[in-house]
Structure 1
Amino acid sequence: MTKNLEKAWSRVEKKRSHKLRNSLLVVAGAGGVAAVAVPLRRRFARAGLPKVGLGGTSPRTIEESIEVGVPVSTAYNQWTQFEDFPLFMEGVDHVQQLDDTRLHWVATIAGKTAEWDAKILEQHPDRQISWISEDGKKTRGTVTFEPRSDSRTLVRLTMSYQAEGPAEALGSAAGLDARRIRGDLERFKELVESRGSETDGWRGEVSAGKKTS
């Protein structure tokens, strides 16, 4: 079924070019990652792609990981440099830190500007950052940092969001969302390894959405 869905998506892209590409934008939210899932069902309708019986309101979960060639503290500290996210997060134009637990995001999605806030729920240096977007979708996610050696770290990203209707479900089933996330992680790997060291990483603690240290 997944292969058939990918073929269907390919036919749509040939007709509509970049306007019909998956618009799941994965961005780091408040020290972690937040996602804005732009509804795809309108685009599929314009292209004449039939509904395939997928969808509903069931949560969709995506998990991707990548091993980076830097110590865990370097990987973690680089991730907390929020203003650098446009360097590796596709579509992100600007990130502004509002306070210790909230960030404001500006991104270009399908040729249009979108803005939203995200809030850190948990942040523990060299271990974990969890967040929730403050838009209506309430996208949740967690990024963890696991040392593999003194000079290597496994970065694992887990996202959970609601697929709104058949089109978003189709994108998820065809693996398009996961590929978008994977691309951002690969660019993060290139960035952190090319720098070799981080600067000004924030190492405060956040629990239950509140700064504790």
Structure 2
Amino acid sequence: MSSTASPRLRRTARLLGAASAGLGVAMLRDPVGVARTAGVDDSDTVLSVLPLVGARELAHALPLLAGRPGWAWTRVAGDVMDLAVMGAALADRRGERYRRLRTATIAVAGLAAVDLGTALRSRRARRTGPAADLPLTGPLTSPIEVSASTTVNKPPAEVYGYWRDFSRLPTFMAHVRQVATLEGGRRSHWVAEAPGRRTVEWDAEVVEDEPGRLISWRSTAGADVPNTGSVEFTPAPGDRGTEVRVRLAYAQPGGRLGKAVAKLFGEAPDQQVRDDLTRFKQVLETGQVVRSEGTPEGPFAKRLLTQRPAAPHA
């Protein structure tokens, strides 16, 4: 949930993960076949090394399949080693084995280019993510970054319009008590619930506003909880409505320790954002937040201890 990578970059990471998984399984199941296809010799040494390389590929695959493009750097390191070995082996090959090894080397070089491009794009995404707009001083030396998404079965213009009316945000953001719009809608004043029944307040300003596509904001000086972030609205594939993706960064009270303590009490930041988006989807699609008799006022952590199986709310 903490990734700031774009959906396209995460898809590329998953494709690389699938490639690693395929190579890894092949090397573990049939090292002789892989050696012959690639044009390398099938000596005992090579056949003992290939399963290790396969295990390395599977280690790359797991985080990449989870959509974490930063792990492409591990593939880049593996590519460098593989290309060095294959380049040295080319000098000793002749005939059909040489042609096979040359083809395999070109293929690995092509994948290496994709790996490097993905890794570099991941680094740029981290540098330009929501935390990049926060001053990394005081409580923000280690800001909390969160992202979440959902698909709403409404057109982007309608979904954007509901969110852009900031006074409506408390209808689905469980910890936000009030949002008052200031200065023609570019600035707003927020009041939110904090642990221990405290409240925190801040002013925020809109820094980007592209109707039907993007809203980004940042808090102004003097905020109780400095924060910044964005919400993107993109058409969902197959005419299925709108993909809504939220990215934000803020100074967690108590820093990383505060985040860990909050998580113990069911107030993990990533879960809060996912729950808010679930309620946002319900409001847009049904006109109300769907509640049950077990949680009539919403999924606050303090009520989870006594929660019982859901039933229609009378």
- TM superposition score category, shorter chain reference: 0.5 to 0.7
Instruction: Tell me how far 1:191 sits from its aligned partner.
Output: 0.4
**Quick one: structure 1 residues 87 and 156, their matched pair in 2 at CA, closer, same or farther if it must change by over 3 Å?**
same
Structure possessing the higher relative contact order (Cα contacts under 8 Å, 6 or more residues apart) = 1
Instruction: Tell me how far 1:111 sits from its aligned partner.
Output: 1.4
Instruction: Tell me how far 1:150 sits from its aligned partner.
Output: 3.9
Q: Which runs of 5+ in 2 are unaligned?
A: 1-138, 289-314
CA contact (8 A) 2:217 2:228 kept: yes
Q: Secondary structure at the residue paired with 1:90?
A: coil
TM-score by length of 1: 0.59
TM-score by length of 2: 0.41
Q: Secondary structure at the residue paired with 2:270?
A: helix
Instruction: Tell me how far 1:63 sits from its aligned partner.
Output: 1.0
Which residue of structure 2 aligns with residue 140 of structure 1?
228
Which has the larger share of strand? 1
Alignment of 1:71-86 (within 5 A): 71-86=155-170
User: How many residues in Structure 1 have an aligned counterpart in Structure 2?
Assistant: 142
Which residue of structure 2 aligns with residue 168 of structure 1?
258
Q: Name the stretch that deviates more: 83-92 or 167-176.
A: 167-176
Which residue of structure 1 aligns with residue 245 of structure 2?
156
CA deviation digits over 1:101-132, x for unaligned, max 9?
10112233231233221111101011111101
Which residue of structure 1 aligns with residue 203 of structure 2?
117
Which has the larger share of helix? 2
Distance in 2 separating the partners of 1:162 and 1:105: 15
Query: 2:257 is matched by which residue type in structure 1?
Result: A
CA contact (8 A) 1:72 1:151 kept: no
Q: Name the stretch that deviates more: 122-131 or 111-120.
A: 111-120
Alignment of 1:93-104 (within 5 A): 93-99=177-183, 100-104=185-189
**Quick one: structure 1 residues 126 and 179, their matched pair in 2 at CA, closer, same or farther if it must change by over 3 Å?**
same
**Quick one: structure 1 residues 92 and 154, their matched pair in 2 at CA, closer, same or farther if it must change by over 3 Å?**
same
**Quick one: structure 1 residues 122 and 69, their matched pair in 2 at CA, closer, same or farther if it must change by over 3 Å?**
same
**Quick one: structure 1 residues 93 and 58, their matched pair in 2 at CA, closer, same or farther if it must change by over 3 Å?**
closer
Instruction: Tell me how far 1:171 sits from its aligned partner.
Output: 5.3
Which residue of structure 1 aligns with residue 192 of structure 2?
107
Q: Secondary structure at the residue paired with 1:182?
A: helix
Distance in 1 separating the partners of 2:152 and 2:287: 12
Instruction: Tell me how far 1:133 sits from its aligned partner.
Output: 1.4
**Quick one: structure 1 residues 179 and 104, their matched pair in 2 at CA, closer, same or farther if it must change by over 3 Å?**
same
Distance in 1 separating the partners of 2:199 and 2:144: 25
Instruction: Tell me how far 1:169 sits from its aligned partner.
Output: 4.6
**Quick one: structure 1 residues 150 and 165, their matched pair in 2 at CA, closer, same or farther if it must change by over 3 Å?**
closer
**Quick one: structure 1 residues 160 and 171, their matched pair in 2 at CA, closer, same or farther if it must change by over 3 Å?**
farther
Highest CA radius of gyration, 1 or 2?
Answer: 2
Distance in 1 separating the partners of 2:276 and 2:157: 20
Query: 2:151 is matched by which residue type in structure 1?
Result: E
CA contact (8 A) 2:200 2:225 kept: no
Which residue of structure 2 aligns with residue 22 of structure 1?
none
Q: Secondary structure at the residue paired with 2:167?
A: helix
Which residue of structure 2 aligns with residue 188 of structure 1?
280
Query: 1:167 is matched by which residue type in structure 2?
Result: L
Q: How high is the sequence identity, in percent, across the aligned residues?
A: 35
Distance in 1 separating the partners of 2:163 and 2:272: 18
